[in-house]
Amino acid sequence: MREGTATVIRREDYAAPAYWIRSVELTFDLDPVKTLVTNRMQVERNPHATTQTLRLDGEDLNLLRVLVNGESVSFRVENQQLVLENLPAESFTLELRNTCSPEKNTQLSGLYTSSGGFFTQCEAQGFRRITYFLDRPDVMAVYTVTLKADRAKYPVLLSNGNLVEQGPLDNGKHYAKWHDPFPKPSYLFALVAAKLVCREQKIRAASGREHLLQVYVRAGDLDKTEHAMHSLIASVAWDERRFGLSLDLDRFMIVAVSDFNMGAMENKGLNIFNTKYVLANPATATDVDHAGIESVVGHEYFHNWTGNRVTCRDWFQLSLKEGLTVFRDQEFSQDLAGTPSARAVKRIDDVRTLRQHQFPEDAGPMAHPVRPDSYLAIDNFYTATVYDKGAEVVRMMQTLVGRDGFARGMTLYFERHDGQAVTCDDFAQAIADANPGSALAHKLEQFKRWYSQAGTPRVAARGLYNAEMRTYTLELSQHCPPTPGQSEKQPFVIPVALGLVGRNAQPLPLQLVGENAPAGTERVLVLSEAAQRFEFTGIEVEPVPSLLRGFSAPVILEDTLSDADLLTLLAHDADPFNRWEAGQRLALNRLLAAIKGDGVLQLDGAYVDAMRAVIRHPALDAAFKELVLTLPGESYIAEQLEEVDPQRIHAVRESMRLQLAHALHAEWEWAYEVHQDQGGYSPDPVSTGRRALVSLSLAYLCLAAAEKQVPLWPGKAYQRFKDAGNMTDRLGALSALVGAHSELAAPALERFHAMFRDEALVVDKWFALQATAPEKGGRVFARVKTLMSHPDFSLRNPNRARSLVTALCFSNPAAFHRTDAAGYVFWAERVLELDAINPQLAARLARAMDRWKQLAEPYRSAAREAIARVAAKGELSDDVREIVTRALA
């Protein structure tokens, strides 16, 4: 148990460190029980500092020796810090020796063991769990690292940068020495010592420079590394092409590890990845997994510039690297997708993620600005807000200055700040300065409210057509609800991309009063006041406004579009995002009416006909159709309500699914037949979309069959499950059976487990599928409890814990929110159990209760009680304490 120190850290308290560490030589004698670390630092006093006391951070360390310029000195350890006073005036060598215990490190922060190897994770504050250091990102040092370990057990010894020496040692040991020429903060340090194999490839970059790319995995996994390698090669090429940024190292390594708290980590030259984001072949990984690997490999690679070459001054600036790098990986995947339609599919996917995770966060007790003001545990701020809303903020900058203008801004950013640790202000300033005439430059200070104000702004839109004058007046207004600690908000700068669609389906030319000519049929308005009007002239027919195209700002749009308007947009909008959005809103309107009304949903002909037209549409891509035909999720529906009854939402949504299954039966059959795979597996957007539509169709067909007790489609699904040539189809068929509560689900699940029992990532899918099955009479919850004692289950492996516990609590509202409160009791027990093992993971799970205040009774009182029970526990980590305290505030 790591008991908290409970000190709130505030952004306004930032002060430069009293000392700089310019270089460091680390030597590791690696042993799972007790690893010896020798740490020799070149330290320099910061002449501007107000104190001369040196305080080095350390956690769970055993300190053996402290030498200054080779002499022992007096020191003390206080509040997890090594404190040194009376130090030499300018620069000196500080040598420390300490030990740590990698095998006892279940938090997976610092140096730990996994499957018999050594791995590190240092972001945000793991380095202090390896040795005493100024563990803060504005202290950048050049690292030289020597690793010593048993040669047979740990044949591969890796660290950042270049390998400069290696060789045998006595007693069956060997060593390797690495040097990283780039000064870096401690959070980017990494080492690996393990029995691994690697796929490697030499590439010649556009610059002409040769690089060695390596992907390290366990011996049995080499056949699952091709996609990651391809993704890495594509990433290198993309960053050169789009931003002129090349790889600055001779060697770039990716290492996969099966125990990892997050997705992956961008350590300089030595990225360490959760196996989930490396390993894939058609038999074990789905299309979604392949897409995840592409974007995470890209993400970590892009950090080499946005994060590593230019890093964060302090952790409040986290979005400087994360928001920007998420934006970059999203753009990368869109560019790789190619066609406008495939790009839109990726955009829709990203917006769905934002709405599913970030919008609720911004409306709940953990709401915080993209650049937070304070924290108790920094690990709690690796959030959807910092990452995904942060990416939207960068995207809005690009929208305001244009693609080329944004690329110019990036160039200026690196010209100014390469090698520095900087702030979000520095980034925004560079983008604005490179585009002096832009709306961003004119309104920069106001634009930066996106960094300082939390909450999702609401934009209300009202249009008025004047047939006589041929004018269309658009009134836009904004307001942002209060969030914890911020009761009043100032107006944001909101880019609103729009088009006007004529009732005859034509895009109308957009000319504002006072302009001499129309500026095309799509443009970006900038809403920066609380309310503004825009008057368009020469509008020959009454239009339907298509607002916020491509989701041009992370806001909630409140417009007055009728069903007829939405049907027009669904059929004719030139913007695929808004076309999809119109379909979702049509579904949502029906769902919400039934949920708020008598709980009965009777599907109307207009909606069914519109959906039929989408399925049968000759020009739309299968991927896009699948997105339109997937109903909004239960938690997204919940976000639209003042008071939430999860059981009622589930019942209404299930009833709508069932009606769609019946009403469009012929269409589902047709779609299932005509989109079958031809030929071998490839995870490209077109075949991915076809498979997704086939799986959705099969799910609806099984659902309809279950109700009528006809075994045909479940039988076909079982057959498909057995014979599938790839994991996407196999899992699709299996989940169709599970989702329809078919009798064939149980034997299929059993067979699936038997086939893949040795593939950890597939076993995760097996758990997750059962934990997210549509609840029916409490069976799913009961099954999850049984699965907790399955021999393959363990809370110690984060992927496994997430596959069952997180999946239930976050992704299965109807199984989790029970009138008997058993779900909440289960949650509280797991949070406490996990907190003793891995506080970061426990705190993530704790957030399943974020939105408890929105719940109807009896859920609400029971939820509060469960949270209070956790909060009352004496020895909580800072991580969990921060979450439950905020939840109860």
- Contact footprint for ligand PHE (CB under 6 A): 121, 123-124, 261-262, 264-266, 299-300, 303, 322, 382
226 is catalytic: no
**C-beta of 132 vs 277, nearer to ligand PHE:** 277
Distance CA 250, CA 91 (A): 32
Residue 262 partner contact from Zn ion, ligand PHE, none using kind-dependent CB cut-offs of 5 to 8 Å:
ligand PHE
Out of 59, 123, 266, 300, pick the active-site residue: 300
8 A C-beta contact, residue 880 and residue 888: no
The residue at minimum Cβ distance from ligand PHE is: 262
Q: How many CA atoms lie within 13 A of 137 on its CB side?
A: 28
**C-beta of 107 vs 113, nearer to ligand PHE:** 107
**C-beta of 214 vs 311, nearer to Zn ion:** 311
Q: How far is the CB of 296 from Zn ion (least distance, A)?
A: 9
Nearest by Cα to 533 from 560, 504, 558, 513: 513
**C-beta of 302 vs 766, nearer to ligand PHE:** 302
Which stretch, 135-143, 163-171, 324-332, 561-569, contacts Zn ion (CB under 5 A)? 324-332
> Which residue is listed with tokens 């590190």?
120
Nearest by Cα to 763 from 733, 726, 724, 802: 802
Distance CA 380, CA 878 (A): 10
Binding mask 270-309 for Zn ion (x = CB under 5 A): ----------------------------------------
Which stretch, 112-120, 314-322, 515-523, 782-790, contacts Zn ion (CB under 5 A)? 314-322
Nearest by Cα to 163 from 145, 149, 148: 145
Q: How many CA atoms lie within 13 A of 617 on its CB side?
A: 19
Strands 140-150 and 19-29: parallel
Both tokens of 376, joined, read: 């108790």
Q: How far is the CB of 321 from Zn ion (least distance, A)?
A: 6
Residue 274 partner contact from ligand PHE, Zn ion, none using kind-dependent CB cut-offs of 5 to 8 Å:
none
Distance CA 413, CA 227 (A): 32
Q: How far is the CB of 97 from Zn ion (least distance, A)?
A: 33
8 A C-beta contact, residue 38 and residue 112: no
Q: For residue 822, how many other CB atoms are within 10 A of its CB? A: 15
**Residues 6+ away with beta carbon under 8 Å from 485:** 373
Q: How far is the CB of 385 from ligand PHE (least distance, A)?
A: 14
Distance CA 163, CA 29 (A): 18
Residue 626 partner contact from Zn ion, ligand PHE, none using kind-dependent CB cut-offs of 5 to 8 Å:
none
Q: How far is the CB of 265 from ligand PHE (least distance, A)?
A: 4
Which stretch, 319-327, 418-426, 741-749, 806-814, contacts Zn ion (CB under 5 A)? 319-327
Q: What does the DSSP 8-state code read for residue 493?
A: -
**C-beta of 122 vs 740, nearer to ligand PHE:** 122
Q: What is the 3-state secondary structure (H, E, C) of 19-85?
A: EEEEEEEEEEECCCCCEEEEEEEEEEECCCCCCCCEEEECCCCEEEEEEECCEECCCEEECCEEEEC
Q: How far is the CB of 298 from Zn ion (least distance, A)?
A: 11
Q: Among residue numbers 325 through 344, which ones bind Zn ion (CB under 5 A)?
A: 325
Which stretch, 11-19, 238-246, 317-325, 458-466, contacts Zn ion (CB under 5 A)? 317-325
For residue 517, the SS3 value is: coil
**C-beta of 308 vs 552, nearer to Zn ion:** 308
What DSSP line would sit under 115-152, residue for residue? Answer: TTEEEEE-TTTTGGGTS-B--STT-EEEEEEEEEEETT
Residue 160 partner contact from ligand PHE, Zn ion, none using kind-dependent CB cut-offs of 5 to 8 Å:
none
**C-beta of 307 vs 545, nearer to Zn ion:** 307
Q: How far is the CB of 698 from ligand PHE (least distance, A)?
A: 35
Q: For residue 858, how many other CB atoms are within 10 A of its CB? A: 12
**C-beta of 124 vs 444, nearer to Zn ion:** 124
Q: How far is the CB of 187 from ligand PHE (least distance, A)?
A: 8
Phi, psi for 525 (deg, rounded to 5): -90, 150
**C-beta of 186 vs 478, nearer to ligand PHE:** 186
**C-beta of 303 vs 448, nearer to Zn ion:** 303
Residue 121 partner contact from ligand PHE, Zn ion, none using kind-dependent CB cut-offs of 5 to 8 Å:
ligand PHE
Strands 62-68 and 91-100: antiparallel
Q: How far is the CB of 336 from Zn ion (least distance, A)?
A: 19
Residue 807 partner contact from ligand PHE, Zn ion, none using kind-dependent CB cut-offs of 5 to 8 Å:
none
Both tokens of 707, joined, read: 């109700």
**C-beta of 313 vs 585, nearer to ligand PHE:** 313
Roughly what angle, to the nearest 10 degrees, separates helices 576-596 and 605-616? 150
Tell me the number of residues near Zn ion by CB under 5 A. Answer: 2
Distance CA 8, CA 374 (A): 7
Distance CA 235, CA 239 (A): 6
What's the gap between Cα 852 and its chain centre?
23
**C-beta of 361 vs 775, nearer to ligand PHE:** 361
Q: How far is the CB of 325 from ligand PHE (least distance, A)?
A: 7
Residue type, 134: L
Q: How far is the CB of 581 from Zn ion (least distance, A)?
A: 28
8 A C-beta contact, residue 399 and residue 497: yes
**C-beta of 135 vs 266, nearer to ligand PHE:** 266
Residue 30 partner contact from Zn ion, ligand PHE, none using kind-dependent CB cut-offs of 5 to 8 Å:
none
Distance CA 254, CA 397 (A): 31
- Beta strands (DSSP E) in 186-230 are 191-194, 197-204, 210-217
Q: Measured over all CA atoms, what is the biggest interatomic distance in the chain, rounded to whole angstroms? A: 94
Both tokens of 469, joined, read: 């004058």
**Residues 6+ away with beta carbon under 8 Å from 821:** 858, 859, 862, 863, 865, 866
What's the chain's Rg over C-alpha atoms?
A: 28
Strands 421-422 and 311-312: parallel
Q: How far is the CB of 384 from ligand PHE (least distance, A)?
A: 12
Both tokens of 310, joined, read: 């230019």
User: Is the preceding omega at residue 367 within 30 degrees of 0, hence cis?
Assistant: no
Residue 287 partner contact from ligand PHE, Zn ion, none using kind-dependent CB cut-offs of 5 to 8 Å:
none
Roughly what angle, to the nearest 10 degrees, separates helices 403-417 and 390-401? 110
Q: How far is the CB of 105 from ligand PHE (least distance, A)?
A: 14
Question: Binding residues for Zn ion, per CB under 5 A?
Answer: 322, 325
Q: Which residues are catalytic?
A: 300
